[in-house]
A and B are shown apart, each in its own frame.
Chain A
Amino acid sequence: MMLKTTLLGSVYHFSDLKELFGKANEEKSGDRLIGIGAATASERVAAKIVLSELTLEQIRDNPLIPPDQDEVSRVIEDGVNETVYAGLKAMTVGALRDHLLAHTTTPKDIETLRSGLTSEMVAAVTKLMSTQDLVYGASKMRVTGTCAYEIGRPGTLSFRLQPNHPKDDLDGMRASIFEGLSYASGDAVLGVNPVEDNVESCSRILGALFDIMERWSIPTHICCLAHVSTQMAAVERGAPASMFFQSVAGTQSANDDFGVTKELLDEAAALIRKKGLCAGPNLMYFETGQGSEVSIGADKGVDELTLEARTYGFAKAWRPFMVNNVSGFIGPETIYDGRQMIRASLEDHFMGKLTGLPMGMAPCYTNHTGIDQNDQEMATLLVALAGANYFMGVPGGDDIMLSYQDTSFHDDATMRELLHLTPAPEFFEWAQNMGLLDACGRLSSRAGDASIFLR
Chain B
Amino acid sequence: MDEQELKNLIRTVLRAAIDEEGAVAGGPTGGLAGPAADNSATAGCPAGLDVCGPPGLGLADPADKAGYLALQQATTARIGVGRAGPRLPVKAWLRFRADHAAAMDAVFTDVSADVIKSCGLFEVSSAAPDKASFLMDPALGRSLGDETAAALKKHCKAGAQVQIVVSDGLSSTAVENNIPDLLPALRQGLERHGLTCGTPIFVKFGRVRVMDEVTAALGGDVTVILIGERPGLVTNASLSCYMTYKGRPGMPESGRTVLSNIYDEGTPPAEAGAYIADIAAKMVSEKASGLDLKL
Closest B residue to A334 by CB, please name it. Answer: B136
* Contact, CB under 8 Å: B92 / A403: no
* Contact, CB under 8 Å: A455 / B137: no
Residues in B with CB closer than 8 Å to A369 are 135
User: Which positions in A face B, CB cutoff 8 Å?
Assistant: 29, 32-33, 163, 165-166, 169, 171-176, 178-179, 332-333, 336, 366-369, 372-373, 395-398, 400, 403-405, 408, 410, 413-414, 417, 442-443, 447-452, 454-455
* Contact, CB under 8 Å: B68 / A451: yes
* Contact, CB under 8 Å: B62 / A373: no
* Contact, CB under 8 Å: B100 / A372: yes
Residues in B with CB closer than 8 Å to A414 are 86-87
* Contact, CB under 8 Å: B71 / A175: yes
Extra A-B contacts (8), CB below 8 Å, given A336-B135, A336-B136, A372-B100:
A367-B230, A368-B107, A395-B75, A396-B88, A448-B82, A451-B63, A454-B67, A454-B71
* Nearest CB of A to B238, in Å: 10
* Contact, CB under 8 Å: B86 / A417: yes
Give the distance in Å from the alpha carbon of A373 to the alpha carbon of B40 in the complex: 21
Residues in B with CB closer than 8 Å to A33 are 136-137
* Contact, CB under 8 Å: A451 / B65: yes
B180 interface residue per 8 A CB criterion:
no
Give the distance in Å from the alpha carbon of A216 to the alpha carbon of B81 in the complex: 23
B174 interface residue per 8 A CB criterion:
no
* Contact, CB under 8 Å: B233 / A373: no
Give the distance in Å from the alpha carbon of A205 to the alpha carbon of B83 in the complex: 29
Residues in A with CB closer than 8 Å to B74 are 169, 171-172, 174-175
* Contact, CB under 8 Å: B107 / A175: no
Give the distance in Å from the alpha carbon of A173 to the alpha carbon of B74 in the complex: 8
Interface of chain B, main secondary structure: loop
* Contact, CB under 8 Å: B77 / A165: yes
Residues in A with CB closer than 8 Å to B65 are 451
Residues in A with CB closer than 8 Å to B59 are 448-449
* Contact, CB under 8 Å: A398 / B77: yes
Residues in A with CB closer than 8 Å to B63 are 449, 451-452, 454-455
* Contact, CB under 8 Å: A450 / B79: yes
Give the distance in Å from the alpha carbon of A417 to the alpha carbon of B86 in the complex: 8
* Nearest CB of B to A260, in Å: 21
Give the distance in Å from the alpha carbon of A405 to the alpha carbon of B74 in the complex: 20
With contacts A413-B86, A450-B68 taken as known, whether A373 is within 8 angstroms of B96 at the C-beta atoms is: yes
Give the distance in Å from the alpha carbon of A175 to the alpha carbon of B77 in the complex: 9
B146 interface residue per 8 A CB criterion:
no
Give the distance in Å from the alpha carbon of A447 to the alpha carbon of B75 in the complex: 20
* Contact, CB under 8 Å: B86 / A398: no
B97 interface residue per 8 A CB criterion:
yes
B234 interface residue per 8 A CB criterion:
yes
Give the distance in Å from the alpha carbon of A332 to the alpha carbon of B37 in the complex: 26
Q: Find the residue from B64, B75, B76, B83 having the highest chain A CB count within 10 A.
A: B75
Contact partner of B135 (CB less than 8 A), chosen from A333, A373, A398, A443, is: A333
Give the distance in Å from the alpha carbon of A169 to the alpha carbon of B35 in the complex: 14
Q: Which of B125-145 contact A (CB under 8 A)?
A: 132, 135-138
Closest B residue to A180 by CB, please name it. Answer: B79
Q: Find the residue from A163, A408, A448 having the highest chain B CB count within 10 A.
A: A448
* Nearest CB of B to A55, in Å: 35
* Contact, CB under 8 Å: A400 / B71: no
Closest A residue to B76 by CB, please name it. Answer: A400
* Contact, CB under 8 Å: B103 / A367: yes
Q: Which of B228-271 contact A (CB under 8 A)?
A: 230-234, 236
Contact string, B188-223, partner A, CB cutoff 8 A, digits 1/0? Answer: 000000000000000000000000000000000000
* Nearest CB of B to A303, in Å: 16
B170 interface residue per 8 A CB criterion:
yes
With contacts A175-B75, A451-B63 taken as known, whether A373 is within 8 angstroms of B68 at the C-beta atoms is: no
* Contact, CB under 8 Å: A165 / B75: yes
B78 interface residue per 8 A CB criterion:
yes
B72 interface residue per 8 A CB criterion:
yes
Give the distance in Å from the alpha carbon of A333 to the alpha carbon of B63 in the complex: 47
* Contact, CB under 8 Å: B100 / A405: yes
* Contact, CB under 8 Å: B77 / A163: yes
A-B pairs with beta carbons under 8 Å apart, 25 shown: A29-B136, A171-B74, A172-B74, A172-B75, A175-B71, A175-B72, A175-B75, A175-B79, A333-B136, A367-B103, A372-B100, A396-B92, A397-B78, A398-B233, A400-B37, A403-B234, A405-B233, A408-B88, A410-B83, A410-B86, A413-B86, A442-B86, A449-B59, A450-B62, A451-B68
Closest A residue to B88 by CB, please name it. Answer: A410
